[in-house]
Each structure stands twice: as structure tokens, then as C-alpha cells.
Chains A and B, each alone.
Chain A
């Protein structure tokens, strides 16, 4: 997991978090899984990351072992292609299970640095990435202005925009980044 063992940054108890997790996933959904492993056969990531196996992740959640997953790097290794969602005969949606796990992991402080950075940029600019200089094939450097593109869009009241997101829970994430 991202460096060290971060402190739990939520006042909620673990059972509360697990209850939240179950309501996010729809607690019955992992229960429908009969371990056919079609998700793992179709999975982009598990072809090259052997320990990443969506049907095993679903199984762990079903067996009440979500806690182990929350602190593991594994749940961040999904390529997000959603082929598992498409091919599951039971409509379990391993991807959605992962998203729920990631949300709870973030709540207790396990969150990869990339997401912390994106959150910070979003609160400042309204987008998750600032404008980049791009290179042409002849190695000239260009940006929106030199390409005569209109200025980047941004929320008209940036302060209000970011205060809404802070209220929705981004504050915690950004504080972790400043640690």
C-alpha cells in the first residue's frame, strides 16, 4: 500500500464502514457469485498481474474478509475496462465491488498519491490536470494559446465549487496529501 501504515482518519467504526460498503455494493450482489471466474478470464489486468483475480476479490468480500482488501495494493490494480461487468452471468459486477472497496479504503486513509494529486488540482482548477505543454513530432512545443484554442473552461465561482467538494469529503483527501 502507499507508503507506511497511515492512521485511520475517520471517526466511524469498522462495522459502520463495512455496513456502508455493503450498502454501496448492494450486499446481495457478491452473494450471487458462483465462482465461474468468467470475470478473471476476461480481465485486462489479471493477464499480467497474477495475484489480481476479480472472482477471488468478490469471494473475499462474500466471506466477510473485506478488511484485508482495504489495506492491500491489489484493489488499485484494476484497469477499469469493465469487461468483468459485461460478461458476469450473475450481474455481480466485480468492478463495482472494487470501486466500493476503494471508497472505503480512501475513507480510512489508504489512498494512492495519484488520486491525492488529482483531488488537489480539481479543487484549484476544476479539472484533475493542469494545462500541459505538448510536443509536436518535430519537437516544437505548443499549448492552447499557440494552437489558437479557446481558454480552458472553469467553474465561474471557483471558491463555491471547491467548498462544495470539500464538504462532500475531499477535505480529508487533501489534508492527507499535505501531511
Chain B
């Protein structure tokens, strides 16, 4: 399938890209890079809807040209593709207008490529059974909180990989690598990332509260699938604690694929554990020492 990276992942969230490129092919998921890809348009939807529609349709048209389904790694890109797909399917006039823009680049949007999500690919395509079989070094004895990220789940009027209010797939995936997990009241709480430009104080409150709750409920770590959530939760714990003037948090935060790859026996470098700013590597090293 066509690997769509978006903007945030390939320009800064390198751990996500590295661990996906390393892990997914070992589970039989063939990834093909998309030449000519651009932003999905979602960040600029607020200032120009036409540009958003054009940009999402443009990338989908590139995937159609490759004759492949597309896997956008970023939650925002993935939702954006689903929204635009549905909108253009119901509005032939808009589709025509967008295609007249695409024509200038020699592209045409039909709407026949499937849009995949990482959780969907792992849970529904690869499957828990194959994942369990691929695990060589299970993460026994670590309790990990699942953070789905809002756009993985909602709005459910668009095709989403899991139930909006009662999701379970990421938790099942966490158990499949040998770790423990359980439901917690703040599971669906947002990371606040999109407040960054307009309300930094509120962002600090939103993110710190979630981190603190996960820590206080006795989890050893958090696993997530979205580059924006990771950007908030992994690298900015100290900054948020200072900003809200409360106790500091020190919680290991992982992309789920990093945990998966590590449990499959991929090296620290292969899942880019050196790039996590939270004490992620320390936790995994300690757990492995305890086992051996």
C-alpha cells in the first residue's frame, strides 16, 4: 500500500517513520513511498476549504495513479482523506471543480483508492494472531495505557477504525505484545495539540492533566498512534509541568509500533528508541533485564 507521511511525521517525528518502515514489512505489509506527495491540506482547512479539498484529493489521486490503497500514518491526514472522500462522493459539482484544478497537474481524482488507518491495518489486516506469533520478546510485566487520539475515533459519520466511545483495538494490540493494559476514565481525553497556536496555557492544562492521570492510575507507560499526540506527550512533559505549576510527570511514551517492533526483536535503533525524549528506552531496557 502507498505510504503517506504528511507533514509532521517526515519533518520531525522521525521515530514514527523509522519504526513503521522497519516493522510493517516484517508483518507482510508492503509499503511503497508516494512520489510527489504534499500536505493533506487539513492544517489549512480553517483558512481555505477549497485548498483543503484540492490537497487531499490530490494525494488520493496520486495513490490512484499508483493503483494502491493509501496508508496515511497521521491521524489528521487519515481523517481528512476520509472526509474529503465522502464529501466528493456526495457532491459531483465539487468533485468536478476539484478535478478541474487537478487537471493542471495532470491528475484526476476518481475516489476508488481505499484509505487505511494504522490501527485498522494492524488489527484487521495483519490480525492479532499473526502479531502474537511474531512476538519474540513479549513485554511482560509492563502496564501500558492506550491513547487512541480523538481523530482515530471521531466523528464516526466518517469511516473510523474503532468505536468512538468504547474502542478496544489498541488495547488488544497492546496485550498482543505481552503487555498489560486496562480501561481508564481519561482514555478518550484529547492531547490538546491543536491549541498550540491559539491557547498555549489551555494546551498545557489539557496535556498535563492527561499525563498525570495516566501516571496516577498506575500505568508504566502510554502507547499512541498519532504524531501530534506524541509531540505533546513525549517531549513536552517538563514544559507542561512548569507551565501549570504542578507536580512533574515523568512518563514513558511510545508510538505503538515502537513497542510492537521491539517485542518482535527489532533493535533499539530499528524502532528509534533513542528519539523518545521521555524515559521510554530506560523502561524497556529495565523490563528486559528483569526478564533475563
Contact = CB atoms under 8 A, between A and B. Distances in A.
Residue among A44, A132, A161, A173 facing the most chain B CB atoms (10 A cut-off): A44
Residue among B6, B46, B55, B274 facing the most chain A CB atoms (10 A cut-off): B46
B39 A122 contact: yes
A77 B198 contact: yes
Interface in A56-86: 73, 76-83, 85-86
B164 A77 contact: no
Contacts, number: 180
Interface residues of B, number: 61
B219 to A, nearest CB: 20
A161 B105 contact: yes
B255 interface: no
A127 interface: yes
B168 interface: no
**Helix, strand, loop or mixed for chain A's interface?**
loop
A126 B281 CA distance: 34
Nearest to A98: B46
A175 B142 CA distance: 53
B50 interface: yes
B274 A128 contact: no
B10 A83 contact: no
B14 A112 contact: no
Interface in A109-159: 111-112, 114-115, 118-119, 122, 126-132, 134-138, 140, 142, 144, 147, 149-150, 152-157
B101 A168 contact: yes
Given A132-B12, A155-B105, A164 B54 contact: yes
A83 B156 CA distance: 10
Given A44-B206, A82-B150, A85-B155, A128 B201 contact: no
A83 to B, nearest CB: 7
Interface of B: 5-8, 10-12, 14, 17-18, 33-39, 43-51, 54-55, 101, 104-105, 150-151, 153-157, 164-165, 188-190, 192-195, 197-199, 201-203, 205-206, 272, 274-277, 281
Interface of A: 24, 44-45, 47-49, 73, 76-83, 85-86, 93, 99, 102-103, 106, 111-112, 114-115, 118-119, 122, 126-132, 134-138, 140, 142, 144, 147, 149-150, 152-157, 160-161, 163-165, 167-170, 173
